[in-house]
Amino acid sequence: MNRADIASKAVQVAERRISKDKWPEYYDTKRARFIGKQARLFQTWSIAGYLVAKQLLANPDAAKFLINEEDPELINALSCMISANPRRRKRGRKKQSFIV
């Protein structure tokens, strides 16, 4: 997004707190002052997110590896497979009978 200054500031805040806070799952409140009541500690995605952010700040061109262009042939083939699967077909509604 060409906002390296904001990303750098966010990583600096994370560097000061996230390790000391035991790599929590998330923070609560707008200012992220409290670890969420249900947040688990030592979360791998918290650590991984921090490491990816550091790498992307060091090498912004690496972001192209995170983007996956859709392959129209593959999408078409998968779509045909799904529509051809008899288990995926919707079955008609059963008629309900009422005792009067």
Lowest mean pLDDT among 3-7, 14-18, 60-64, 91-95: 91-95
Predicted structure pTM score: 0.55
Domain that includes residue 73, residue range: 4-84
Looking at residue 58, its pLDDT comes to 93
Considering the domain boundaries, does residue 91 fall inside one? no
Domains held by the chain: number = 1
Considering the domain boundaries, does residue 99 fall inside one? no
Considering the domain boundaries, does residue 89 fall inside one? no
Three-state secondary structure string covering the chain: CCCHHHHHHHHHHHHHHCCCCCCCCCEECCCCCEECCCCCCCCHHHHHHHHHHHHHHHCHHHHHHHCCCCCHHHHHHHHHHHHHCHHHCCCCCCCCCCCC
